Amino acid sequence: MDIKKLQIIAICKKLNLDFKDFGLLNFGAHNINYYFNTKQGKFVLRIENNAQSKNLKKEYTYLKKTDGKLGPRVFLFDNTNKIIPRDYLIEEFITGVHPNNRISDDVLKKFGRWFKDLHKNKTDKHLFLDKNKKFDLNLFFNEKYYNSYLKYNSILDLNTKKILEKLNSDCLKLMNLNKKYFLKIKNLSLNHSDPSPSNCFIKDNGELILIDWEFVKYDLPEFDLIFFIWSYELSDKQKKIFLKSYGYSNTKFAKKKYKLIRILMYFSFLNWLFERLDLSIKGKLKAKKGVYCSSKKEIEEKLNSYIKNITKLLNKARLISF
């Protein structure tokens, strides 16, 4: 959607700011972001554009509580549809750089410590404990992935469905044989859930900060760590540096647990693609240049890529004596 100057001016009036100019920052898969300059500083207008779920209010609520300690400061959330016919928030404009895929060892160590601090925020109020307060791995798998698969499997072609049915069965067998690696889990940690390079910042003052907190949730801390390693395509050496600075255990037990959780995470990646494929088939998702997985072809290609990765991970796991 296109934003007009008068709409930005109206937002500035709500915040007692003196408008100067504005422009487009980027189109994301779930949000449209504009910047606007005022005499009091530079701000970001973040507009919800998510056909899959409404997350902006949750993002605002979390960022308001943190008050700039882990993410950008926020100043306004508006869902009245009076100025803009969608939910939007206003947050501070972060200046700095995105560490690229040639991320230095020193920055990796900083990010390891940063995630350690984030994951210290924990809760035992979650769905994945059984009546004996033991971590229920089957329930976790169902909630994180399998229920979504059952909801959307009718849109998959027969070959994809056949492959996934086999992978689903293999994964459950593997996890049930290795429940001992999950028995001590009681708490889930606060996760950013999308620590990709475009969301990681080194501020001008050297501090680390993450933006785009729309998927913030309590989850297994490994989900953040694995996503970060995966999205930055870290080498084995870099991975060791990152996990060591985080304080992740280097025992055989911890390594095997990590590998099992990595398999679960790849399954969870499929949920988002199922939803987007369904929206694309129904004509509710418009293909847009530069927007990740907005075309049916790209979604199907990414789905097949993840299935291949899951197959490789499960095959490797069969060779490991758990």
- Give yes or no: residues 50 and 199 share one domain: no
Contact 260, 244 (CB under 8 A): no
**pLDDT computed for residue 186 by the predictor:** 93
What's the total number of domains in the chain? 2
- Give yes or no: residues 115 and 88 share one domain: no
Print the domain residue range for 85.
5-93
Q: How far apart are CA 78 and CA 134, in angstroms?
A: 41
Question: Which of 30, 60, 93 is the last residue in one of the domains?
Answer: 93
- Give yes or no: residues 21 and 86 share one domain: yes
- Give yes or no: residues 109 and 240 share one domain: yes
**pLDDT computed for residue 117 by the predictor:** 96
Whether the model clears a pTM of 0.85, i.e. scores above it, the answer is yes
- Give yes or no: residues 204 and 284 share one domain: yes
Q: Which of 284, 51, 29, 275 is nearest to 147 (CA)?
A: 275
Residue 257 burial class via C-beta count within 10 angstroms: exposed 0-12, middle 13-18, buried 19 and up: buried
Question: Which of 69, 93, 117 is the last residue in one of the domains?
Answer: 93
**pLDDT computed for residue 214 by the predictor:** 94
- Give yes or no: residues 36 and 182 share one domain: no
Within-domain flag for 99: no
Q: Which of 96, 81, 84 is nearest to 45 (CA)?
A: 84
| Tens-binned pLDDT, residue by residue, of the chain (322 aa) | 789 999 999 999 999 999 999 999 998 889 999 999 999 999 999 999 988 888 999 999 999 999 888 999 999 999 999 999 999 999 999 999 998 778 999 999 999 999 999 999 999 999 998 888 889 999 999 999 999 999 999 999 999 999 999 999 999 999 999 999 999 999 999 999 999 999 999 999 999 999 999 999 999 999 999 999 999 999 999 999 999 999 999 999 999 999 999 999 999 999 999 999 999 999 999 888 888 899 999 999 999 999 999 999 999 987 665 6
Question: Which of 93, 127, 150 is the last residue in one of the domains?
Answer: 93
**pLDDT computed for residue 319 by the predictor:** 67
**pLDDT computed for residue 102 by the predictor:** 82
- Give yes or no: residues 183 and 286 share one domain: yes
- Give yes or no: residues 122 and 248 share one domain: yes
Neighbours of 168 (CB within 10 A): 18
Tokens 């016919």 map to which residue? 85
- Give yes or no: residues 68 and 128 share one domain: no
Contacts 24+ apart (CB under 8 A), 21-29: 27/288, 27/290, 27/291, 28/212, 28/291, 28/292, 29/291, 29/292, 29/293, 29/294
- Give yes or no: residues 30 and 68 share one domain: yes
Query: Alpha helices, DSSP H only, in the chain?
Result: 5-14, 56-66, 105-119, 137-141, 147-152, 158-177, 221-231, 236-246, 252-281, 296-319
- Give yes or no: residues 83 and 122 share one domain: no
